Amino acid sequence: QVQLVESGGGSVQSGGSLRLSCTASGLTFATYSMAWFRQAPGKEREGVSCISRSGSTSYADSVKGRFTISRDNAKNTLYLQMNNLKPDDTAMYYCATNLVGSYSRWWSPSNWRYWGQGTQVTVSS
């Protein structure tokens, strides 16, 4: 079965950086689009970034210029480099795969079939 395992979360001060990883198994990684989502307490899960199987990327406006999504197909691993972190970035971060809807709506959680368990990111001011 498909398994996604996130790592790399932690606690940092405002302006700091973190690199999240998501290792996938049970699927032909290179043939799937991948995405990062986040969910803060009391808020809905929101799309952060997406990368297609061809390497095209998309970002939420709130993270453009600060976050970079990438993938290493040889390692079955998805990454999210997060720079200049802000307290508003505090959330549980999830990776997702198997886009079942339109790529233009990558930001909608309902368009993704498989999810990891998440990794916590906490940014203090």
Identify the CA nearest to 85 among candidates 62, 107, 69. Answer: 62
Element (H, E) at 6: strand 3-7
- pLDDT at 115 (0 to 100): 98
Q: Tens place of pLDDT for every residue, the chain, 125 residues? A: 999 999 999 999 999 999 999 999 999 999 999 999 999 999 999 999 999 999 999 999 999 999 999 999 999 999 999 999 999 999 999 999 999 988 899 999 999 999 999 999 999 99
- pLDDT at 101 (0 to 100): 82
The beta-carbon contacts of 55-61 under 8 Å, at least 24 apart in sequence, are 58/106, 58/107, 60/107
